[in-house]
Structure 1
């Protein structure tokens, strides 16, 4: 699916990576919510698949993750979400377990997918929740050797549960928008450990450390792309603060963007 129209044309051509695990400073006492996948917590949803049978659904999609979907840790185990899952882009990065039982080819075992795209119409509006999964993820719900049979089933009813995101071996990182400059800074936020989705993103400049309110709110541009426009030249190094959508947990990566930052480059988080 093509990303929606947005304010910065350069964002269409650039991928930005913002990898988050535990190599960041957790600056609140809010703990991860206890997300269970016990039988009593499974909810019904619709499910379809798109793209190639063994692919990642799209080349990036409405969350702006670019060409990372087929690579670890996503490894094509991704899904577009209907409105209640995509949440106008705020649901990007959230993780779910999905399982099917109604078809003879279903294994009944859950698979974990990440919301990386939007499913805006058609069957995605027919149920309260809908997963338009990659061909790889949809086939993974099948018993051994029956993935193609399951993919031929059409629209199915599945069960799903929200779960914590886990990306072992991947540190918090930022890939800066190719169109960023001293007055405009943008990143895509990706692989946030735990909740996965984000309610707010803020930036702190080096020159703001002594201010009473040093954190500048970034705007959600589209999908998982967050941006900051400034009338004054932004002074790096930058720290980034995330607030998660599900549990209101805050995470700070101090001075993650160095004073020598360049558009299109990726910077990993500092730890302390």
Structure 2
């Protein structure tokens, strides 16, 4: 019986690989086997917190998420990062598990945070997380959050993890959000990209006009999680957006996500996610 089960497991594993190949999936999907691509040993970092004790740290920050950091699904569980994790903006949107074990107030249980800002002065350790008061306190034993916040610089353990956002209204279906920058116009489009599952960040982004199918314009990272396209001619909506994940390279297309009549400052939700 054991041999039969073993053979069955091997068959399922290779069936998943074959399925991924024929569906042109460009990176292995760990959810199929319930494991994380980022699961690894813990590393050491220094941790501090800023902003209100039960707040979301900065309102805005170097990633461009603005006040969204305090709302669901970020829910204030965010952190600014030193240069080694911020990576000149490419670290925006990446998710980490963080836990503390070296203080009596530590619960020793990991919490998940999202990189949402830069801490350019955090260079005293090889890695540093300047967390929101909410996220920092979440590492404490129940009722000991304020005691933990009074520690000062705390040594923590951290490791990369997959982002996995619940959908709007706490549904199971999440989707990528695009918020058009207030400076956008018919010749210049810039947008913040939020709530990316999986890697959480992008290596590249492209735009396709409805009037020019199969021609993809390369967008550039303006700063943080903000991407731009500066066109020499008027851009014709609706626009489709093609994204490439930073680490696994998986490609995702949000078809016609930015409609005709789009306006600077507007928010548009796709129907896709990693």
Q: Give the TM-score range, shorter chain.
A: 0.7 to 0.9
TM-score (norm 2): 0.83
Aligned to 1:189: 193
Greater relative CO, 1 or 2 (CA 8 Å, sep 6+): 1
Aligned to 2:109: 109
Count of paired positions:
240
Deviations 1:174-225 (A, max 9, x none): 1211221110001001110111011111111112215xxx111111111111
**Aligned-partner Cα distance in 1 for 2:83–2:234:** 37
Instruction: Check conservation: 1:27, 1:250, Cα contact below 8 A.
Output: no
Aligned to 1:59: 59
Aligned to 1:228: 229
Q: Flag as ranges the 4+ runs of structure 1 deviating above 4 A.
A: none
Aligned to 1:162: 160
Bigger radius of gyration: 2
Aligned to 1:13: none
How far residue 31 of structure 1 moved from its aligned partner, in angstroms, is 2.6
Summarize the Cα distance change of 1:188–1:41 in structure 2 as closer, same or farther, 3 Å threshold: same
Aligned to 2:131: 133
Instruction: Give matches, 1:239-250, under 5 Å.
Output: 239-250=240-251
Unpaired runs of at least 5, structure 2: 1-22, 168-173
Unpaired runs of at least 5, structure 1: 1-25
Query: RMSD value over aligned CA atoms?
Result: 1.7
Instruction: Check conservation: 2:77, 2:114, Cα contact below 8 A.
Output: yes
Aligned to 1:17: none
Q: Does 2:205 match 1:208?
A: no
How far residue 126 of structure 1 moved from its aligned partner, in angstroms, is 1.6
Secondary structure of 2:211 counterpart: helix
TM-score (norm 1): 0.84
Instruction: Give matches, 1:37-116, under 5 Å.
Output: 41-116=41-116
Instruction: Check conservation: 2:177, 2:195, Cα contact below 8 A.
Output: no
